[in-house]
């Protein structure tokens, strides 16, 4: 998650570095979201498999882990913007309740709406999975693919390939990878005997390389055509699991780097909440700086703000709940 949040932050930088490889890596940084959702589906399987699992505690812990920090940041941003008009309050309510996202409101905090929705339906999936096994996974993943394709066809055939659903497209495109992560969680938690022999490694790496080729192709030649209809996100369905395994092997080998990224992973929610609004609020005020300095400054401000929010959550917000909440 530490790697994923850094990748997302690089993706949101508004100015290029003039280094082709870095700029391309930055341009496909939306894949960091796929890593988040893959690992969320993975981790939730472990959480719900505990013997002392309680559904009320599950929903309460998910709510208090995300929503208080989210509301706090929204309130601070609302005060900073000083837009106390009826429209400003309407926008605040739409964002705070996440309802605006589902009616097509273009919201930079769309990921919060997305992850809360997926958290809400996960117990339903888990119950069906325990009863029907992989068939339940196939239904949920198939539903995600169907939403992607239906949305893409509607955009292409009826709206001249223009997106009229706002950021909701970003959720449709990520439903499959979330439940694929749940399958990997099942394989890991329930002791499924999967041996990563040479053949399986070759198949996995080959599939990821082919998917990466299509990602480069999409990004280079069909970026605008595919971004509006969700199909640009398809390669990450294959890339993400392989990339997560490679990252796990890398961090296992290099412990010092692992510790650094672990700290960022623990603050991933805070980093996300802070940087999306900091870029929006402050980037326009530092245009007098050169592009490299502005990039560095916005990143530093994001890290300091995220750390402060993390401390507030740990010392104040978390203590307001009657259960211990793990980051």
What is the rounded distance in angstroms from the CA atom of residue 166 to the CA atom of residue 100?
10
Rounded Cα distance between 12 and 35, Å, is: 16
The per-residue pLDDT for range 39-95, each reduced to its tens digit, is 999 999 999 998 888 999 999 989 988 999 999 999 988 888 778 888 889 888 989
C-alpha to C-alpha distances, 256 to 25, 263, 268, nearest whole angstrom:
23, 11, 19
Helix (H, G, I), strand (E, B) or coil at 91: helix
Q: What is the pTM of this model?
A: 0.89
C-alpha radius of gyration, the chain, whole number: 20
Tell me: the pLDDT tens digits for 92-132?
898 999 988 888 777 778 999 999 999 999 999 999 999 99
List, for residues 124-162, the tens digit of each pLDDT value: 999 999 999 999 999 999 988 888 888 878 877 777 777
Q: What tokens does 175 get?
A: 């439903």
- What H or E segment, with its residue span, contains residue 323? none
Q: Which pLDDT score is estimated for 294?
A: 72
Domain edges within the chain: 2-320
Would you state the pLDDT for residue 292? 67
User: For residue 109, which of 241, 320, 243, 275 has the smallest C-alpha distance?
Assistant: 275
Neighbours of 19 (CB within 10 A): 10
DSSP string of 249-269, one letter each residue: HHHHH-HHHHHHHHHHHHTHH
CA atoms of 180 and 240, how far apart (whole Å): 10
pLDDT at 149 (0 to 100): 83
């Amino acid at each position: 998650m530490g790697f994923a949040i850094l990748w997302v932050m690089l993706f949101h930088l508004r100015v290029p570095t003039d280094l082709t490889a870095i700029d391309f890596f930055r341009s496909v940084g939306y894949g960091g979201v796929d890593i988040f959702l893959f690992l969320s589906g993975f981790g939730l399987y472990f959480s719900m498999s505990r013997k002392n699992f309680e559904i009320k505690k599950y929903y309460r812990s998910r709510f208090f882990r995300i929503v208080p920090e989210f509301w706090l940041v929204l309130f601070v941003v609302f005060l900073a913007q000083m837009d106390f008009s009826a429209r400003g309050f309407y926008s605040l309510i739409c964002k705070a309740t996440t309802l605006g996202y589902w009616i097509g409101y273009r919201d930079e905090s769309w990921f919060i709406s997305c992850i809360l929705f997926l958290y809400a339906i996960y117990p339903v999936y888990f119950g069906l999975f325990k009863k029907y096994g992989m068939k339940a996974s196939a239904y949920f993943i198939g539903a995600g693919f169907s939403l992607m394709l239906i949305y893409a066809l509607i955009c292409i055939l009826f709206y001249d390939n223009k997106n009229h659903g706002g950021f909701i497209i970003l959720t449709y495109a990520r439903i499959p990878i979330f439940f694929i992560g749940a399958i990997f969680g099942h394989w890991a938690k329930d002791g499924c005997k999967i041996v990563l022999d040479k053949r399986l490694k070759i198949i996995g790496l080959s599939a990821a390389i082919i998917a990466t080729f299509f990602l480069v192709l999409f990004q280079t030649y069909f970026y605008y055509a595919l971004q509006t209809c969700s199909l640009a996100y398809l390669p990450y369905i294959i890339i993400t699991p392989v990339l997560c395994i490679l990252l796990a092997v890398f961090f296992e080998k290099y412990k010092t780097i692992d510790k650094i990224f672990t700290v960022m992973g623990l603050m991933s929610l805070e980093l996300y909440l802070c940087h999306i609004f900091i870029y929006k609020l402050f980037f326009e005020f530092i245009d007098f700086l050169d592009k490299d300095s502005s990039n560095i400054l916005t990143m530093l401000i994001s890290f300091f703000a995220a750390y402060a929010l993390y401390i507030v959550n740990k010392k104040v917000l978390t203590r307001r709940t009657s259960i211990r909440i793990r980051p």
